[in-house]
Amino acid sequence: MKVCVDAGHGGADPGAIGLEPRRLEEKEVTLALAFLLEEELALRGHEVIMTRRQDRTLALDARAEFANRYEAELLLSLHCNAAADPRIEGMEVFHRPGSKPGREAAAMILTHMLAAFPGHENRGIKEADFTVLRESTATGVLVEAEFLTNPSQLRFLADPKNHRRLARAIAEGVPGGQEVMFD
């Protein structure tokens, strides 16, 4: 399957910003996660294209147009969440409203994420009319990995070992991949 990995935000758009216990910008986490997800998807036999490979600004419609131009079958947009209340936490995955393939992909990805991180709150599968999902002809899924505004989840998102585990879990949830055995 041809998968477009979209590292959310970038450049002038930092996305969500966590401040406690240290400053961490969403665009940093999503790009690091995107590179690892690219590796994990390739191991499973998927062809991967990336909307960005560096810290640069990209319009939302340009991300969808990129996936369309290269005829991606699945668009995975990676994000971290934020909330005014620092106690809010959890993982959630969005798909375009009414998209049965999007809902199925979102369900598989979230299932694998929560299996890899059983202590994390399940915020569910949700529909949203996000530009990147709406404008893409590919099945679109937007992953919210955790909340940068929750201090314990910021520590989780700052840990590179968790990036690898998240990437592996997301890749395992993508349909049509080959099984990979790890030591």
Q: Residue 37: inside a domain, yes or no?
A: yes
Tens of pLDDT, residues 127-172: 999 999 999 999 999 999 999 999 999 999 999 999 999 999 999 9
Written as one string, the DSSP assignment of 39-91 is HHHHHTT-EEEES-SSS----HHHHHHHHHHTT-SEEEEEEEE--SSTT---E
Give the model's pLDDT for residue 167. 98
Give the model's pLDDT for residue 176. 86
Burial of 125 (0-12, 13-18, 19+ CB in 10 A): buried
Q: Residue 178: inside a domain, yes or no?
A: no
Q: Residue 182: inside a domain, yes or no?
A: no
Tens of pLDDT, residues 64-119: 999 999 999 999 999 999 999 999 999 999 999 999 999 999 999 999 999 999 99
β-strands 91-95, 17-18 pairing:
unpaired
Give the model's pLDDT for residue 177. 78
Q: Is the pLDDT at 181 greater than 80, yes or no?
A: no
Q: Is the pLDDT at 180 greater than 80, yes or no?
A: no
Q: Residue 117: inside a domain, yes or no?
A: yes
* Number of domains the chain is built from: 1
Q: What is the CATH number of the domain that holds 26?
A: 3.40.630.40
Give the model's pLDDT for residue 63. 98
Cα–Cα distance, 16 to 14 (Å, whole number): 6
Give the model's pLDDT for residue 39. 98
Q: Residue 12: inside a domain, yes or no?
A: yes
Give the model's pLDDT for residue 175. 87
Show the domain range for 100: 2-173
Q: Is the pLDDT at 48 greater than 60, yes or no?
A: yes
Q: Residue 180: inside a domain, yes or no?
A: no
Q: Residue 85: inside a domain, yes or no?
A: yes
β-strands 2-7, 47-50 pairing:
parallel
Q: Residue 109: inside a domain, yes or no?
A: yes
Q: Is the pLDDT at 182 greater than 70, yes or no?
A: no
